[in-house]
Amino acid sequence: MTKSVLILCGDYMEDYEVMVPFQALLAFGINVDTVCPGKKAGDICRTAVHQFSGHQTYSESRGHNFTLNASFDEIDVSKYDAILIPGGRAPEYLAMDNSVLDPIASISHGQLVLAAADLVKGRKCTAYQSVKPVVVAAGSHWIESDTTAKCVKDGNIITGVTYKGHPEFIRLFVEALGGTITGADKRVLFLCGDFMEDYEVMVPFQALQAIGCQVDAVCPNKRAGETCPTAIHDFEGDQTYSEKPGHDFTLNATFEGLDAASYDGLVIPGGRAPEYLALDERVTAIAKDFMERGKPVASICHGQQILAAAGALKGRNAQPTLRSSSTWFWGGAWLEPEPIHRCFTDGNLVTGAAWPGHPEFISQFIELLGVKVLF
């Protein structure tokens, strides 16, 4: 039976904390509705990028525009199996709205809504540190976090500190919905670079971690622990997409000395990074090797520039953003991305045009890997 989840949104919720669980849950076959008080389906909520940048507290900059897919005033609460609340600044005002529903999973500042709904009394709970006085005053049993990835489950309530903990947060949520995961003992490699698209690296990265895959993200000439700046790409009424600074993405493996043959699958994010990564023969050699071995490869948006440079698109049906580059110069067969969320599998290759296609992109990739999420 298909599960249904409601995500309670608001302006300036944290960018990752809404989109990563939203698209990951969709990829796992769960119906997800996103609503915001005072807004209807098709309206947008602005999001915020929160991260530590060497100051005493986190910085904030503009994130993607998140499009709601349901209307708050029309929701029927009885049809949902669970509710999820992203963090960021939205919960500060959502907590004052008496129409807000009782949630099951909440992250970062989302616990302000839990406290206002009187749901944490006597419950084990964690949150972003500055939220502690509120949830303690609301009667919770506060669990200190030794890491920003900390998550706590107490009965039907799951709480997390920040988006760093999404893999465990989402896994606990899937399990709470009655889900089981099989075949996840896979190793997946991500080819990263400066100014790759923010969503196009973090959403599949954390979604694959959430189902138990070992995921290593590398970048040429960088080591584990170093970061790649990312770019936020949105269509905002201009003739092409806009670009804003995204989160800094932390690499968890080192490119030099990499044993690419030890991985079961490869993911290539889009954005601007592939423009220069496609010029690196070490990168194209890895992509070519995965394709020749028939191992699962998933590439989105401009990521197909790397596959094209590796000669891996010849005779393939693919869906790059750059139509002329793929078809005229490297022999790929163009598949029209209509609508934009469509993704396609051709043998061992999954391609998509842009981050709105992540649910299909991730779903098709994990199918190639042999991973199943069952309810």
Burial of 328 (0-12, 13-18, 19+ CB in 10 A): exposed
**Bridge partner residues of 48 (DSSP):** 14, 62
Task: For residues 154 and 14, state if they share a domain.
Answer: yes
pTM above 0.85, yes or no: yes
CB 290, CB 266: distance < 8 Å: yes
> What pLDDT is recorded for position 104?
87
In the numeric block, which tokens belong to residue 301? 């948006």
> How many CB atoms are closer than 10 A to CB 368?
19
Task: For residues 186 and 316, state if they share a domain.
Answer: yes
Question: 198-210 vs 166-176: helix axis angle to the nearest 10?
Answer: 50
Query: Using CA atoms, how far apart are residues 200 and 205, in angstroms rounded to an integer?
Result: 9
CB 373, CB 29: distance < 8 Å: yes
Burial of 280 (0-12, 13-18, 19+ CB in 10 A): middle
Cα separations in angstroms, 338 against 24, 31, 305, 341: 21, 21, 20, 7
Task: For residues 220 and 117, state if they share a domain.
Answer: no
Task: For residues 11 and 97, state if they share a domain.
Answer: yes
3-class secondary-structure state, position 269: coil
pLDDT values of the chain reduced to their tens digit, one per residue, 375 residues: 799 999 999 999 999 999 999 999 999 999 999 999 999 999 999 999 999 988 999 999 999 999 999 999 999 988 999 999 999 999 999 998 766 555 689 999 999 999 999 999 999 999 999 999 999 999 999 999 999 999 999 999 999 999 999 999 999 999 999 999 999 999 999 999 999 999 999 999 999 999 999 999 999 999 999 999 999 999 888 988 899 999 999 999 999 999 999 999 999 999 999 999 999 999 999 999 999 999 999 999 999 999 989 988 876 666 555 554 544 445 555 566 667 788 999 999 999 999 999 999 999 999 999 999 999
Cα separations in angstroms, 108 against 87, 159, 309: 5, 8, 41
Task: For residues 126 and 190, state if they share a domain.
Answer: no
> What pLDDT is recorded for position 312?
86
Task: For residues 168 and 188, state if they share a domain.
Answer: no
* Total domains present in the chain: 2
Task: For residues 163 and 198, state if they share a domain.
Answer: no
Which of 150, 178, 206 marks a domain boundary? 178
Burial of 237 (0-12, 13-18, 19+ CB in 10 A): exposed
Task: For residues 174 and 190, state if they share a domain.
Answer: no
Task: For residues 154 and 172, state if they share a domain.
Answer: yes
The residue segments making up the domain with residue 316 are 182-374
> What pLDDT is recorded for position 235?
86
> What pLDDT is recorded for position 240?
87
> What pLDDT is recorded for position 328?
43
> What pLDDT is recorded for position 340?
76
Query: Using CA atoms, how far apart are residues 365 and 368, in angstroms rounded to an integer?
Result: 5
Cis (ω within 30 of 0) for the bond into 339? yes
Task: For residues 25 and 165, state if they share a domain.
Answer: yes
Task: For residues 117 and 215, state if they share a domain.
Answer: no
In the numeric block, which tokens belong to residue 310? 């590796």
> What pLDDT is recorded for position 326?
47
Query: Using CA atoms, how far apart are residues 11 and 66, in angstroms rounded to an integer?
Result: 9
**H or E element that contains 230:** strand 227-234
Interior angle at CA 63, CA 59 and CA 68, nearest 5? 135
Cα separations in angstroms, 347 against 163, 261, 287, 368: 34, 19, 15, 9
Task: For residues 153 and 187, state if they share a domain.
Answer: no
CATH number at residue 288: 3.40.50.880
